[in-house]
Amino acid sequence: MAWLRALLLAALPALAQAQPARDAYDLLARQAAPTAFAAEVTAGARGWRIAYPRPGGPACPLPGPLMLPQGRAAPILLRTEDLSAVHDWRVPGLGLRAAAIPGRVSTIPVPASAPGDFAGEAGAPDVKVIPADDYARWRDTVLRPACPL
């Protein structure tokens, strides 16, 4: 009986991240308009990854803080690739606290009303909110060259 319990405990994390969860995430990302979300934030065993939407293509990962334009209310898609752990994303300066839960994709509104650099806690990604004009320049000079279609 102990072997059955051990087998179930080993299999449960994999079941939580089963194909239906991945399919649901892919469907959500495909159906979303290019400006429907600001970025995908993914937790994993090796850290966090931030990817930005691309019209007509998959999201493009970029290192660094999560860049957001001031005053734009585009949510973040939050998920984890780690099968066995919940990852907390806390950014106290923005009043942001969310959890990346295995098998789920969460849509998180990030308040970006004031510009600034906001530190994430416990290894979570930082957030940088910049004026809309500066964001457009960053998008054109950094994001587009790094993520061609």
Residue 62 domain-assigned (yes or no): yes
Output the pLDDT for position 46. 85
144: confidence class by pLDDT, cuts 50, 70, 90 = confident
Output the pLDDT for position 135. 92
Domains held by the chain: number: 1
List beta partners, residue 57: 54
Given strand 47-54, what is the order of strands in its sheet?
Answer: 57-61, 47-54, 39-44, 76-80, 106-108
Residue 6 domain-assigned (yes or no): no
pLDDT digits (tens, 9 = 90+) for 40-74: 999 988 889 999 988 777 888 999 899 999 988 77
Residue 122 domain-assigned (yes or no): yes
CATH of the domain at 140: 2.60.40.420
Contact 70, 130 (CB under 8 A): yes
Q: How far apart are CA 126 and CA 25, in angstroms?
A: 23
pLDDT digits (tens, 9 = 90+) for 68-111: 999 887 789 999 998 888 898 999 998 889 999 998 998 988 88
Residue 124 domain-assigned (yes or no): yes
The beta strand positions in 5-104, using DSSP E, are: 39-44, 47-54, 57-61, 66-69, 76-80, 87-91, 96-100
Residue 7 domain-assigned (yes or no): no
Residue 2 domain-assigned (yes or no): no
Residue 80 domain-assigned (yes or no): yes
Q: Which domain holds residue 109?
A: 15-146
Mean pLDDT across the chain, nearest whole number? 81
Residue 48 domain-assigned (yes or no): yes
